[in-house]
Structure 1
Amino acid sequence: MNLVSHHDKVLVHYTGRRLDGSIVGSSSQTGAVELQLGNGSVPPGLERALVGMRVGEKKSTLLRAKEAFGLRQKDLILRLDARNFPKETCPKVGQVLKMQNHDGAMLHVQVTEVTENEIVLDGNHPLAGLDVTFEIELIRIVDGNPPS
């Protein structure tokens, strides 16, 4: 029986929960999801949990914040002068905006505060700083070949 290894592409069902039990993500409504291991797109702790699994195997794993979606980073919180935004297009709290960083990469930031003088944007992942439990089921190893 094949085991998941680094750089495999896998198909999984998952449910992610905060420690209070509230669901932060699940494939139960959308169907199984493909994950590409080894390219940095999967949280490191989840990737480690998947490596070595067999098709059909189920596992529950607790990911500490650092191994899940990272710790919150203060340097990803931006405070901007509200006068730089036209009043008719002023962002609203909870809105997600796309911004370009100094390297030209696109970032998603969430508006967390809007006052008369200031707009606060948060570039942290919404689950940054949180410990999360993942229940995972390996459905299939889609591509067991490492990238060339």
Structure 2
Amino acid sequence: MSDTIQNNKFVELNYRVVDKRTSIVLSTIEFPLGYVHGANDVLSEQVQSELQGKMVGDTIDLPIDCDKLYGPRDESLVFVDQIENVPEDYREVGITITMENAKGEPRDFIVTRVDDKTVTVDGNNPLCGRDVVFTLEVLTVRDATDEEIDIGGAVGADPDIHEILK
């Protein structure tokens, strides 16, 4: 059927990430993610397999082992510093700070706690150690243009869910 997900179809998805233990929604997207099914590796083979044959309006729930995806939580990547040592711009929970190691390799740290005396930053992926479910909702399925097939997604877009679903 032409309105089902199959190779060389342009697909748009909404997704949300839910913590299985607490049922709290950890992440959602504001704009649909678009990709060409089978034309790139934006989504893992497992995810593409689950989406194969789905239609507009279908949803799938994918349990994700975040430790397998991101590695186990590493407490050596959590740092606490005195608040006076941290610039004011970085004293807000949720702010991302990019730091470099001695080799000049960048790593993102997220401010996870601020109190009157200290600031805590964490270099672990926020999903490490969590048991989550990705819920994907199919919004659009259509024939992809030749240009979309060549680039694997919408012209002018940069689909970036590979960091989450690969």
TM-score range, shorter chain: 0.5 to 0.7
Query: Paired residue for 2:47?
Result: 49
Give yes or no for the alignment of 1:38 onto 2:25. no
Query: Paired residue for 1:60?
Result: 61
- The 5-angstrom pairing of residues 126-145 of structure 1 reads 126-138=126-138, 139-140=140-141, 143-145=148-150
Query: Paired residue for 1:92?
Result: 91
Residues 37-82 of structure 1 deviation map (CA, whole Å, 9 limit, x = unaligned): 536xx6x6xx6223352352431111122245443122322455x4
Distance 1:130 1:38 in 2: 24
CA contact (8 A) 2:77 2:123 kept: yes
> How far is the alpha carbon of 1:17 from its aligned partner?
0.7
Residues 10-48 of structure 1 deviation map (CA, whole Å, 9 limit, x = unaligned): 531112111121111223xx2312368536xx6x6xx62
Query: Paired residue for 1:24?
Result: 26
Residues 113-147 of structure 1 deviation map (CA, whole Å, 9 limit, x = unaligned): 56899754211111211111111123347644587
Distance 1:9 1:72 in 2: 36
Distance 1:12 1:127 in 2: 21
| DSSP-derived class of the 2:6 partner | coil
Residues 75-117 of structure 1 deviation map (CA, whole Å, 9 limit, x = unaligned): 322455x49937x648426243221234434322123456899
Distance 1:66 1:34 in 2: 26
CA contact (8 A) 1:4 1:144 kept: no
Distance 1:16 1:118 in 2: 30
Distance 2:121 2:102 in 1: 16
| DSSP-derived class of the 1:15 partner | strand
Distance 2:68 2:35 in 1: 17
Distance 1:129 1:70 in 2: 9
Alignment-mate amino acid for residue 52 of structure 2: M
RMSD over aligned Cα atoms: 3.9
Gap regions ≥5 residues in structure 1:
none
Could you say which structure has the higher helix fraction?
A: 2
Alignment-mate amino acid for residue 16 of structure 2: T
Query: Paired residue for 1:14?
Result: 15
